[in-house]
Structures are given as C-alpha cells and as structure tokens.
A and B are shown apart, each in its own frame.
Chain A
Amino acid sequence: MLELNHLSKTYQTGNQAYPVLKDISLRVEKGEFTAVMGPSGSGKTTLLNCVSCFIPFDEGEIHLGDTVMKNLTEKELAFVRNNRLGFVFQDYMLFDGLTVFENICVPQIIRGGQIPQMETRAKELCRLFGIHHIAEKYPVDISGGEKQRTAVARALMNDPDLILADEPTGNLDSKSCRTVIDSFLKAKEELNATILMVTHDSFAASFCDRVIVLKDGRIFQEVVKMGSRQEFFDELLDLLRELGGGENDGE
C-alpha cells in the first residue's frame, strides 16, 4: 500500500545542512495499523509530512499504491490528499463553524460527490464511532475525544488508501485516548483501513500491529506485535527506555 525507498530529507539553513531523514525504507501493507515512534528530533513528523507531501523530500521514492509521490502537480496533489489520504491531526483541525456531521462531510464536499451517498456515509461513520448523538453539535460544544473521533470519521469519509495520524492522542486524557484508539481499531477491523500513526504515546502504539522506531533520522528498530497488547506495551517501554525516552506512557 505504502512503500518508502531510501527516503532522505535535509533542512538547509544558510550554509548549514541538517539531515532529518536518512535513507528510510519501509512498507505498510493494506489493512495494517502501524505506529512510528521515536524521541524528539528523530524525524517522525518530517516523515509523515513527506508522505503527505506537505513538504518535499530530497532523495528516494514514495509509492502510494501505484502512484509515485513525486513531482505531482498542484491538482494531482490535491486529488491524492482528498481521495487517497486521510488526515488526523493532534489539534483536530475541525471547522469551528460546522457541525460534527458537516465536518465529516467536508472531504466529500470538496470532491463534489453525490449528496445522498455522502449523507448516508457520514451517518454510518457517526454511528460507527459513536458520535451520532452529537452530530448536530459544533466543535466548541464537544470533548477532545469526541473531536478526535470526528476527525477520524472525516479522514475515512472518502475511503482513503491510507490514514496519516500525527500525534492523534497528544492532546487527550487517557480515557479519551482510549476512545480514539478504539476508533482506529474499528476503522481497521470494519473498514479495512490502513493507518500510519506518529506518536509519543507507547500506550497508543501498543494497539498497533507494528511499531517503527526512529532515531536520528534512521530506522532504529521495527517491532511487530506477536503476543498480547500488554506484552507489546512492555516491549515498547523497554525499547524506549533503551532510547532514553518513554514519555507519555499513558497507562
């Protein structure tokens, strides 16, 4: 589904070059829930921004299905973002002037899709993520967890190939964090969604199928969940301790 080959990215400030991503290669399969972890400055968010084409990369290739994500025109880029990618951000990025239901509809509105199908799909997603009772409320009237579930529903509206989540639980308390993770799991199980999530939170990451740990712009380690979630969680904590991190344990 997503394939990164020898991806490199360097920030240039004056004459000074700061390599952020160094020769990253990875694959995310269809229906997989993958997390990217790592200490601050390891390149997690840069990686996500490169995949979503928010920033350009220097070397390597990104394949999303059969699409090579390089040198896309503005129109092609907009098409990919609208139809093939879904985004969930740490600060939700919901439209304050729209209701929950309307916010979920936005990707379809941009696409110019058929209205009856759009409304049916939005209602389904509301039910799936348990936000149907707040569908007519505005973001200001709902909790952080509900906002993020709305964002997850919105990300799934156009049935994208890949959902990119940037610290989706970063602003949430543990209870809300759990409801959001449940939403991702539901998306994966019931809609066969593919999710790539950047997180600091080992509790959230322990629900994933696989965790890629970055350090200094390189893949430090890849951990695949083999046993129970608790075992996986412990394994991640050990790994992060080894890296000198382990913040936001969540549990």
Chain B
Amino acid sequence: MTANKLYAKLRYYNRKNYLMLFLCTVLSVMLITSYALIYLSPTVQNVLPAGGDSRKQAVMIFAVAIVGCAIFSTYASSLFLKYKSREIGILMALGDRKGQLKKMLFSEIMLVAAAACAAGLVLSFPLSYGIWRIFQLLIVDTREMGYQVQGAGLLFGVGFSAVLVLCIFLLAVRFINRTNVMDIIYEQRKSEPIRDVGKWTGVTGVILLILGLVLGYLVPVAVFKLFHFYMPSVWNVVYLLSAAGIYQMMTFLAVHSRRGNHPRKYYRNLISTSMMRFLGRQTVRNMCVIILLTGGALFAAFYLPVTIMGVKENVRNNPVDYLFTYPSGQIQFRESEIEALADAHQIKIKGYQELPSLNLQVDGYEWVYQKSGKVDMIYHDVAGTSTFFNAEDLSVLLKKTIEVKPGEYRMIASVPTTQADDGLPTLITDPVTGEQNPVQYVGTVEFAGRFFNTPEGINTCYVLSPEDFARYDNHLKGADRNVTVAFGVEHWEESYAFAKNLKDEMINRYPGETVKDLMDRPIELSPDNPELSRSWAYYPLFKPLQSQDYMKNMAVFFMLFAYIAIICFTAVGIIAYTRGVTIAVNQKHVFVDLERLGADSRYVDRCMKNQLRRIFIYPYLTGSIAALGFIMMILYTNDGRISIAEAKATGINLIIMAGLGVYLFLVYAGTCKKFRAVIRES
C-alpha cells in the first residue's frame, strides 16, 4: 500500500467529517450569496430609500449575518481539524514527514472548500429565486416585485467565499504548525478549564448587561434632552459593558456551583458542572456568540411586528378612509366628479368634506450642530411654515367638539399629550401682512391619520379658533392655502380599484412633470412611479392604498429580516450542535469512567442533558430577553408609554421567541442523539 492509498483509505473512513465541512461551507456561502443577490437587486434597492434608516438597518443586520455565517463555517472547520488531529498526530509519531502531511491537509481543505464555495454560489440562484417566489405568492405580487438580480450580488458571494476559504486555510496553518506531536494528538481532548467563580459574578454580570444597554441608549437621549448635546459616537463603547456582563453571566451559569444551602442540588449537578468547568473557556465563548446571534436576529425580527402593528393600529383608528391634500388652486376636484368615479366602481361615498388649511409662519429654534456635539438652539421669530386648520372644520371631520379660543391653538397628534414642548410655536406671523400675533398652546387634538404623506413629527399641523382662522384666511391666497378632501366609504377594504383610479386621476391632474420630494429633490410625477408613495408630501392617503403599499414595502423587509433570521438561527444551531458534539468527543472517557463507577444510562443521560441545556437554554434566554428588553426600552422612551399596538407587537415577538425556542429544542434533541452516539461508539 502506498502513502497515497493510505491517505485515501483514511479519507474514506472519515468521509462524514469531510462531508460536514463541505455542507457547512456550502450552506454558509449559499445563504450569504442569495441574501446579497436579493438585497442588491434593483427591486429591493428601490424599496429601501438611500441613506434611510431602513437601509442602514438592513446593512447592520446583514453584517451580523455575515459574522454568523463566518463563525459557523470556521467552527465547522475547527471541528474537522479536531477529528483530523488524531490521524495526523499518529502519522507524525510514526515518522510521516510534517511537510508531506501539511501538503496533504492543505490540498484536501482547499479542494473541499473550493468545491463547496462553487456549489454554494451556484445554489444561491435557485434559493434566492425560490424564496422570492414564495414571498410573491404569499404576500404580494406586483410589477414592482419582479425577481431581478445583478452581478453585484454574485460578486459579493465570491468575495465572501474568498474570505471564508482564507479563514479555513489560516486555521489549518495554525493547526499544522504546532511542532509537538502530542499537542496534535491531544487536540481532540484539549481542555480549557475555568475554575469556579464567586456568586457575585452572576449578579455583576446581570448589572453590567443592563447598565451597558441603558447607558448606551438612554444616556444620549437624556443628555440631548437636558443639555442639547449629542454624545460622541465613542460613547457607544459603553455597550461593551453589556458584552462583559454577558461573559460574566455565562461563566457563572456554566461553571458556578456552591454547596451552600442546597447540597442536594449541588451534588446532583456536581459531575456535569465539573465537566463544563473542564471545557469552560471555549464553552463560555460559544455561549456568548450564541447570545450575540440570537439577540441580533431577534432584535431585527422584533422590528417588524412593532412597525406592522403600529401602522395597522393607525389605519384602524383613523376615522377618515380617504384623504388628500393639495395646494389650493393646483387641481380642481368637484364632489360630483369623485361621486361619479365612485359610482362607476359601485362604491358609496359618505361624509364628504373639504377642509381649507393655511400655511402660516411660526417662530421656533434653529438647531446649529457644533463639531463638539453641542447643539446650539437659535431662536427666530420666523423660523418656518406650519399648517393650521379651523377648529370648526376639524370638529366636523373628527365628530367631536374641539374647543380653541382666540389667541390659542392646539396640535394635531396621534398621541394625546398635555405637556408643552420647547419646539412649539409661540408666535404666528401673517405671511402677507407680516403682522405677528402671540399664541398659546392649549393641548392636542387626537387624530390617528395624517393630512400630509410625511412621517410623524414632520409637517405637524395645528388648529386655530374659527375667529383667528377667518382673520388669516381672508387675505391668504394660492401657495399659502391648502385644501384637504376627506370622505369615508362603506367597506374601505373592498375599494382598492376605486382608490387606485382616484389616485391616478389626482396625479394626472396635478400640473407639471416633476414634483419635489421630502428632501426637495425632483421626482417624476407619474401614477406608475412608486417613489411618490414614499416621498411626496401630497400623495393621497387612501386606506386601501396605504395597506397595499405598506404590505409591499413590508414584504421586502419581511423577506430581508426572515433571511437574516434564517442565517443567524442556522449559525446558532450549528454552533450549539458543534459545541455539544465537541463536549461529547472530549468527555467521552469521563462518561466511560462514570459507567464503570456504576452510573446507569439514565444518570449518564442526565449528566449529558444538564450540560447541553446550559449551552442551549441560557444563551437563548439571555439573548431573547436582552433583545426584547432593549426594544421595549426604545418603545417606551419614544413616547413615554407602551401603546396597545406596541403591546400587541410584543405579544407577536413573544411568539417569535417561542418559535426560536422550538427550533432550538429540535437542534437540542438532535445534539442529544449525536452525543449519545459519540459516547457509546467504541
């Protein structure tokens, strides 16, 4: 038998290990490339506004997913090298040349990794297409949602593959460069013990975790509110406190045991705790990575229900089904024309109302951002323009009495608030006469809808008393006046065709070929331009269209987040599984000893499960609770309360958490099975 034949025979014998490395690499490349193909496709890029928060968020979670994939691939390779170590060690001990073995190992790894990357790249196309089609079929199928890919996505995949192969190669170099044969042989049984830690470690861990999240998020918010100062980005290092806290907590949970007041529990878990301690460092590091991936993926996934429920709640609570605002004189729409269009669609219109509104100049503060992070607020008596409605008109629209006396005004908001804000106007200037009148803020008018197609907080509208409104209205013309048309229909959910028809008609009647978007950039004025629905302030606010557009945008988000979740959860599953199997391989002799000392299979099983549970349950719970707590903190600090919609979204998030729990339980069951097989194999 030649050396090559010997190596070939060994390869055949260990074919399962080669297959595992191959499959993990294929999976990793396939997931990342298919995500890149989808994310970088023109369709998705059009939906995610450039420079917008949603694009930043998608990039951020993609980064988490890349880290996740890279981690699970390198874990798979380190497990492969662990298996390989005994074989190489024995061959070296028997006199095989290191150079020869190095050459063999590198060529094997290169071959497996290159073939896996190629397969992953090829398979990413059907995968991305398949997932895209599923979303099209299940959620929304419009012209905009067509499957398109560009070379950039594939290029990204190729780049990722190259980095991955390099990582695996570097691991192999580090492994083979060990000169000591015994180190290589005992790589398989290598231990990294951690001594027991004090009970304070767990407590300080929890404190540090919470402190990091609270300081990282709340302090910048509070500092800005109190001192108008933006914390420098270096402040984000306080999040490292959370990372340190997580490490301490996991160390405590993995290896701490004290006889204390519960000796029975202490002795029952003594053996499994000692085993955990023996492989402590690596296990704790794995647990921390699982927390990072679980927390990151869940944080991304939690964002969706919060947004969906918020929009749904607003649509549901909005008393006005159809509303559009236009600058006075720009288009002409008579009630009879709208009714005729509605009749053609067999829709019955009710409560038709036209509300005039005025664009008046108001005082306010200009925010001047200093390089130091300080924000100077400079007061101007004419700081900008705001839209004002007549309290009488609004009372009719909202079917409730709105009391505003002359010299007073109210703010229209979806959330009732009694507290006056620094930024609210105190002075109104007539844009024609220049006459300035002080005004007093007397509270909010609650309205779940909007008058302009702008995000909440931009283009805030106010209500004046009928007397004040009439005084300004007398001499304002054209650009300083708007008209809002509002009406309801029976069963708005079934009026999509009418809504679309009316929207197209309205856009067609609008003068000019382009309009300005929210950033003051020109955009094409065409009923087919989806960009209008996202960034034109006068885009009609019809419930059927809002639901549809929103579902379309959300479908893309849902797809991206679901993808990230798949990648992160796959990584979590593989890391936890790999760790479990490594423990089984390394501690096999301990289990054999236990059986010799009379432990029956139930006892051995309990020891095994006790260890695996720590790897699965603690990181899962920590990651999930931290992500949920963090998002709840953000929701609460947004408006000082948790709304019904947010509470409902939290319910959905708990279901997502439970779903992840079920998935991890299945991985846990698979790991238990493999664990048993490893410790039983002779």
Contact = CB atoms under 8 A, between A and B. Distances in A.
Contact of B599 (A54, A93, A102, A110): A110
B279 to A, nearest CB: 9
Name the residue in A83, A85, A105, A110 with the highest tally of chain B Cβ atoms < 10 Å from its Cβ. A110
B275 A97 contact: yes
A98 B603 CA distance: 17
A251 interface: no
Interface string B275-297: 11110000000000000000000
A79 B596 CA distance: 11
B593 A93 contact: yes
Contacts of B268: 109
A96 interface: yes
A102 B273 CA distance: 12
Interface string A79-114: 111110101000001011110001001110111000
**Dominant secondary structure of chain A at its interface with chain B:** helix
Interface string B175-191: 00000000000000001
Contact of B598 (A79, A96, A119): A79
Contacts of B598: 78-83, 85, 107, 110-111, 158
A74 B193 CA distance: 32
Given A78-B599, A78-B600, A95 B593 contact: yes
Given A97-B277, A97-B278, A115-B263, A107 B597 contact: yes
Interface string A153-174: 0100010000000000000000
A97 B274 contact: yes
Contacts of A74: 600-601
Contacts of B222: none
A119 B595 CA distance: 22
A67 to B, nearest CB: 14
A75 interface: yes
Interface string B55-97: 0000000000000000000000000000000000000000000
Which range contains the number of A residues in contact with the other chain? 20 to 34
B588 to A, nearest CB: 13
A74 B594 CA distance: 14
A161 to B, nearest CB: 13
A51 interface: no
A116 B556 CA distance: 63
A73 to B, nearest CB: 10
B456 to A, nearest CB: 57
Interface in B401-420: none
A142 B621 CA distance: 39
Interface in B256-270: 263-264, 267-268, 270
B192 to A, nearest CB: 12
A48 to B, nearest CB: 12
Nearest to A81: B598
B271 interface: yes
Contacts of A119: 263
B600 A98 contact: no
B24 to A, nearest CB: 30
Contact of B274 (A79, A87, A95, A154): A95
Contact of A93 (B264, B270, B596): B596
Contacts of A107: 597-598
Nearest to B279: A97
B171 interface: no
Q: Which of B268, B271, B275, B603 has the most CB of A within 10 A?
A: B271
A54 B596 contact: yes
A109 B593 contact: no
Contacts of A111: 598
B19 interface: no
Nearest to B195: A138
Q: Which 4 A-B pairs have the closest CB atoms?
A: A82-B598, A97-B274, A78-B600, A81-B598
20 contacts: A52-B596, A75-B600, A78-B601, A78-B603, A79-B600, A81-B595, A82-B597, A83-B598, A85-B598, A95-B271, A96-B274, A96-B278, A97-B275, A97-B276, A102-B274, A106-B270, A110-B597, A115-B267, A118-B267, A119-B263
